[in-house]
Chain A
Amino acid sequence: MSVAQAMQYATFVVEDLFFGIDVLRVQEVLRYQEMTRIPLAPTVAEGLINLRGQIVTALDMRRRLGLKPRSAERLPMNLVVRAEEGPVSLLVDEIGDVLQLEAADFEAAPDNLTPAARELVQGVYKLKDRLLLVLDPDRALEVNEFLDTRPAGSN
């Protein structure tokens, strides 16, 4: 098995979806951090966190995927992803292990995925007991303004 065919993925869970993201794009994983909310921002942008003096935007993956919001007592985890403009945090439900996966198990994303999810998913790994959706980190960081359902200038 050549290196090109095996990839390492950091895994995480959002609602009942099991995701993987290229481990090289992950800067770090943090437990819940206090956030400053950003009034008027797209709802996906949940808040700002202080990452050792750096200000990082936290994006809620539930909202990004069009899922229902997590219950108030369940605190999200931060998966800090490297991006060109600096790190961005993805708020996810749980963090899993790092998995090494073979290209042979990879397949394109199924068509019946929800549109919001399909947009962000590069493909699927068929694991023994479940499926792992491969997240496109750059797509996940794009905040589509049209997704915002909060009326502008509401008060």
Chain B
Amino acid sequence: MSEQDVLREFILESTENLNRLDSEIVELEQKPADKDLLASVFRTIHTIKGTCGFLGFPLLERIAHQAENLLCLLRSGERRLSPRLVAVILECVDAIRKILANLESTETEGPDEYGDLIVRLTAAIADPDDRPDLPPVTAESAPLEIEKSSGVSESAIRVDVGLLDKLMNLVGELVLARNQVLQFSNQKEDGTLTATAQRLNLITSELQENVMKTRMQPIGVVWNKLPRLVRDTANACGKLVRLDLDGAGTELDKTIIEAIKDPLTHLVRNCCDHGIETPEDRVVGGKTQQGVISLKAYHEGGQVNIEVADDGAGVDVARIKAKALEKGLIRPEQAERMSEHEAMQLMFLPGFSTARTVTNVSGRGVGLDVVRCNIDRIGGTVDVSSAKGKGTLIRLKIPLTLAIIPGLVAASGGERFLIPQASLLELIRLEGESAGKIESVHGTPVYRRRGRLLPVAFLNRILGLESAVQDEVVNIVVLQAEDRQFGLVVDGIKDTQEIVVKPLGKQLKGLTVYSGATIMGDGRVALILDVLGIGRRSGVLADHESQNRTAAQAAAAAASDNQRMLLFRAGSFSRLALPLSLVARLEEFPQSMVERAGGHHVVQYRGGILTLVSLASVLEPGSAADAPASHDPVQAIVVADGQRSLGIIVDQILDIADEVVKVRQSTARRGLLGSAVVGKEVTDFLDLRTVVQAAAPEWLERQGQKRSAAVMLAETSAFVRGLVRGELEMAGHRVVEAASAEEALSRLDALAVDLVLAAADLPPNGFAGLRDAMRQQPKLAEIPVVELAPSAGGRDAMLGSIAQLASAVALQGAAEAVESVEGRA
């Protein structure tokens, strides 16, 4: 074993122990007399101390040593555990964890910043006066039996996750080969072959099941950290909280466990911070002082349900609406129309947070949107229900595994497609007479299913395929995406199969209608449909939505990977489009509010003055459209640039289109970039710069006669990319996106880029990883790389400074610009 192996082993083992420690210490706080528990805590710290002394980590040893001394006093009964001592011990655990992290990444202990902690530790040991100053938080769950059994079990060995992944892949291949053999044996009528194939079938299925099991982990692995989290959060908020855990043994695939870790943490933290009231408020509300957060996990129909519930104040729908209005996510008249359930969905929008104050716990406007995003990504769903004053229940439905899924084989236009079973609700077959039962409502095909209208889409039309089948038989696959249902008409339905999901190459990444591909029994490739993408593309989901579409939903849509387009009408242009990422808000003003000032139409807006410009008069100067608008109320698209806003008056907002845009034809016409087919109709693309120039030329003057820069944006979150991209494009720069360091490097190689903006947490090795990789390539070494980090002035300030930086790069050249901007920062 090399020295590095020893170190890795030490870090691995210590980290595992530390994770157990967190929940044990919190439990200990509950039952200070539990000798076994105390002994276990003591043992863990002792082991760490011993090993690091051996390996020569003085800093780590010092902290562990002091912690051990303290625990020693507790164990001998000379001192009793007080909340203050618990806090100090937990702090030690954190410090040890931090040093371990340093060791893992740099192989050094990192800076000695723990002098203060050591002093407090020593003081705590010396000072016998341990008044309980804070009531303890309880965690009522026999903390996780599974953890207890680990470590002592001699029948278990540690296996590298990489090896398990490899095994899983191989089993995937085997499943495919098995499918092929089965199909072959069905064609040949050979008894021996059939018998052998059946045997192979059985063994493969069993092997698959068992290999899957090796990757299964109990959800308790994630829950383990929650008692500590709840304790700390509750203390920070001055609340009393009990955490109930039920079903910690429920098993999930490792990749899924990883994926739900952050969302669950967010949710529990939210419950603590937003859900549970302060003890005083609770008493007033007729409840016990102590709030309860309960987590429950259980299997149901091939999925795992995870419920996060609190008995707190519940969701205040009125407050949510008010907040959404204030943030400009919805308009007043929409707020009135919204149902309670719809209003609750607003909580999941990016940038939404109802916490009255920003605490260090939550209220920063990130959280629930991240939760939904992460859960969506693994094919799960989030639902929230709440009763005011009684509490909130958030239910997650998560698939068991991602690698091998059951799918329905459907045919359309002579091709086979797979539909993930998880999205499938039912199959409807219409024959003869009833085949004509697909009716049309205002151009949208619908089917009356048990008396309710189900919007219907035709797969071959969506994909541009010829239909091979006459109309005598109609097969409708009823699907669910998000919380909507729609019918998909296919030419034929074959059977169901276990399919191994394989990703599509990067050349096909822009296609939202497929989630991957698989190899069928005959060895040919078949595409797996992405139900959400199909629904969106067909317009089934969008049409349904547009009946009660809110700008809030539109904002959420901007987070998707595609360039989303706002469609509107102005003057003689019946269909204009603007990337949604450039739109700040949509507003309606009554005519009576519009005033004239400084040669412009203006309106008082959010405590300031918003300049209005009629789009028709910009695009068709001299036409009769000098009046702000002939419509009442006036519809305006608000675009913003840092501090300033401009309202563009249009005749009507039409829709939001969601597709990869291909500008087909450029126009010489002033104010237009070109035209393209969006949603099956020819659409003109508005050139925002022309409009801004006409209405607020000073915006452009400030930027001087600058050239534009080519900026690479390396950031995982499509939402953040959209945001930054919009800002840069507004300032006239060109933007190339990359979601990972790998993608960034490969694109950089092919493109000439002036500046790279990289997220701090860019996978796999963060901002620094990308920078270092670039420095190693002579071609890329000169390109400045700037970290995309939230600035102190908030999101707007960050965006503003990015645009400024890009302009400076274009103007002065890269190196000087970065220097000057960073010098100022």
Contact = CB atoms under 8 A, between A and B. Distances in A.
Interface of A: 34-42, 44-45, 47-50, 53-57, 59, 84-86, 88, 138-139, 141-143, 145-146, 148-155
Contacts of A145: 510, 660, 662
B535 to A, nearest CB: 14
B464 A57 contact: no
Contacts of A47: 525
Interface stretch (B235-243, B673-681, B754-762): B673-681
B505 A88 contact: yes
A84 B507 contact: no
B464 A155 contact: yes
Contact of B415 (A39, A56, A149): A39
Interface in B493-507: 502, 504-507
B483 to A, nearest CB: 25
Contacts of B177: 53
A49 B525 contact: yes
B463 interface: yes
Contact of B505 (A35, A40, A85, A138): A85
Interface string B495-527: 000000010111110110110011100011111
Nearest to B502: A55
B638 to A, nearest CB: 28
A138 B506 CA distance: 12
Contacts of B514: 38
Interface stretch (B208-216, B400-408, B742-750): B742-750
Nearest to B506: A85
A36 B659 contact: no
26 contacts: A34-B524, A36-B525, A36-B526, A38-B527, A39-B513, A40-B463, A40-B464, A40-B511, A45-B507, A47-B525, A48-B525, A48-B527, A53-B177, A54-B502, A55-B518, A57-B505, A57-B508, A59-B507, A138-B749, A138-B750, A145-B510, A145-B660, A146-B663, A149-B664, A150-B464, A153-B537
A53 B659 contact: no
Interface in B731-750: 742, 746, 749-750
Contacts of B517: 36, 48, 55
Given A55-B504, A153-B659, A50 B525 contact: yes
B508 A148 contact: no
A35 B488 CA distance: 25
Contacts, number: 100
A143 B507 contact: yes
Given A155-B461, A155-B464, A36 B415 contact: yes
Contacts of A48: 504, 517, 525, 527
A46 B507 CA distance: 11
Contacts of B664: 149
A53 B519 contact: yes
Contacts of B510: 145
B176 interface: yes
A39 B508 CA distance: 11
B465 interface: yes
Interface residues of B, number: 45
B173 interface: yes
The 7 A-B pairs with the shortest beta carbon distances in the complex, nearest first, are A39-B463, A57-B505, A155-B461, A48-B525, A36-B525, A143-B507, A151-B677
B462 interface: yes
B415 A37 contact: yes
Nearest to B414: A37
A141 B749 CA distance: 13
Interface string B651-694: 00000000111111000000000001111100000000000000
Contacts of A35: 525
Contact of B677 (A45, A139, A152): A152
B448 to A, nearest CB: 24
Contacts of B518: 55
Contacts of B508: 38, 41, 45, 57
Given A59-B507, A155-B464, A40 B524 contact: no
A73 B506 CA distance: 30
A61 to B, nearest CB: 13
Where chain A touches its partner, the secondary structure class is: loop
Nearest to A151: B677
A148 B680 CA distance: 16
Contacts of B176: 53
B354 to A, nearest CB: 39
Contacts of B680: 153
A125 to B, nearest CB: 22
A62 B769 CA distance: 38
Contacts of B677: 151-153
A89 B209 CA distance: 34
B527 A138 contact: no
Contacts of A34: 524
Contact of A39 (B465, B659, B676): B465
Given A38-B508, A48-B525, A88-B507, A152 B173 contact: no
Interface centre among B508, B537, B660 (most CB of A within 10 A): B508
B512 to A, nearest CB: 9
A142 B461 contact: no
Contacts of A154: 464
Interface string B410-451: 000101000000000000000000000000000000000000
Nearest to B510: A145
Contacts of B526: 36
Interface centre among A42, A55, A153, A154 (most CB of B within 10 A): A153
Given A37-B415, A39-B415, A153-B679, A141 B507 contact: yes
A82 to B, nearest CB: 13
Given A84-B742, A151-B677, A152-B660, A44 B507 contact: yes
Given A85-B505, A138-B749, A150-B464, 14 more contacts: A36-B517, A36-B524, A38-B527, A39-B513, A50-B524, A53-B173, A55-B502, A55-B505, A138-B750, A141-B507, A142-B750, A145-B660, A146-B663, A152-B662
Nearest to B516: A55
A1 B72 CA distance: 75
A139 B464 CA distance: 29
A40 to B, nearest CB: 6
A85 B743 CA distance: 9
A148 B511 CA distance: 13
Interface centre among B507, B517, B742 (most CB of A within 10 A): B507
Contacts of B662: 145-146, 148, 152
Nearest to A53: B173
A117 B742 CA distance: 26
Nearest to B466: A155
Contact of B504 (A57, A146, A150): A57
Contacts of B524: 34, 36, 50
B507 A57 contact: yes
Contacts of A143: 507
Interface string B277-295: 0000000000000000000
Contacts of B537: 153
B660 A36 contact: no
Contacts of A42: 507
B750 A36 contact: no
A150 B677 CA distance: 10
B303 to A, nearest CB: 27
Interface in B623-665: 659-664
Contact of B523 (A38, A50, A57): A50
B208 to A, nearest CB: 15
A91 to B, nearest CB: 13
Interface string B456-490: 00001111110000000000000000000000000
A44 B525 CA distance: 18
B505 A41 contact: no
A59 B505 CA distance: 11
Contacts of B678: 152
A59 B504 CA distance: 13
